[in-house]
Structure 1
Amino acid sequence: MKIENTIKSPGAVGSETKTRPAREATTSSSAASGSKVQLSSLSSHLQQLEKVIAETPVVDSGKVEEIKSAISQGQFRVNPEKVADGLINSVRQMLAAQPRSA
Structure 2
Amino acid sequence: MKVDNSGKPITPSGVKPGTTRLPAKADATETSGKPRTDNVELTSTSLRMQALEGALNKQPTVDSARVAEIRQAISEGRFKINADVIADKLVASVKELLAKRED
* TM-score when normalising by structure 1: 0.55
Aligned residue among 64, 70, 74 for 1:61: 64
* 1:47 paired residue number: 50
The size of the alignment, in residue pairs, is 69
Cα distance in 1 between the residues matched to 2:51 and 2:60: 16
Q: Once the 2 structures are TM-superposed, how far is the Cα of residue 89 of structure 1 from its aligned partner?
A: 0.9
Whether 2:54 is the aligned partner of 1:38: answer: no
Name the SS for the 2:85 alignment partner.
Answer: helix
1:41-69 CA distance string (max 9 Å, x none)? 22221211110011111111111111111
**Structure 2 spans left out of the alignment, 5+ residues:** 1-34
Aligned mate of 2:94, from 77, 91, 94: 91
> Percent identical across equivalent pairs?
39
Bigger radius of gyration among the two? 2
Q: 1:95 to 1:36 in 2, by over 3 A?
A: closer
Classify 1:48/1:83 alpha carbon distance in 2 versus 1 (closer, same or farther; 3 Å): same
Greater relative contact order (Cα 8 A, min sep 6): structure 1 or 2? 1
Higher helix share: 1
CA distances 1:20-50 after superposition (whole Å, capped 9, x unpaired) = xxxxxxxxxxxx7455433222222121111
The unaligned stretches of length 5 or more in structure 1 are 1-31
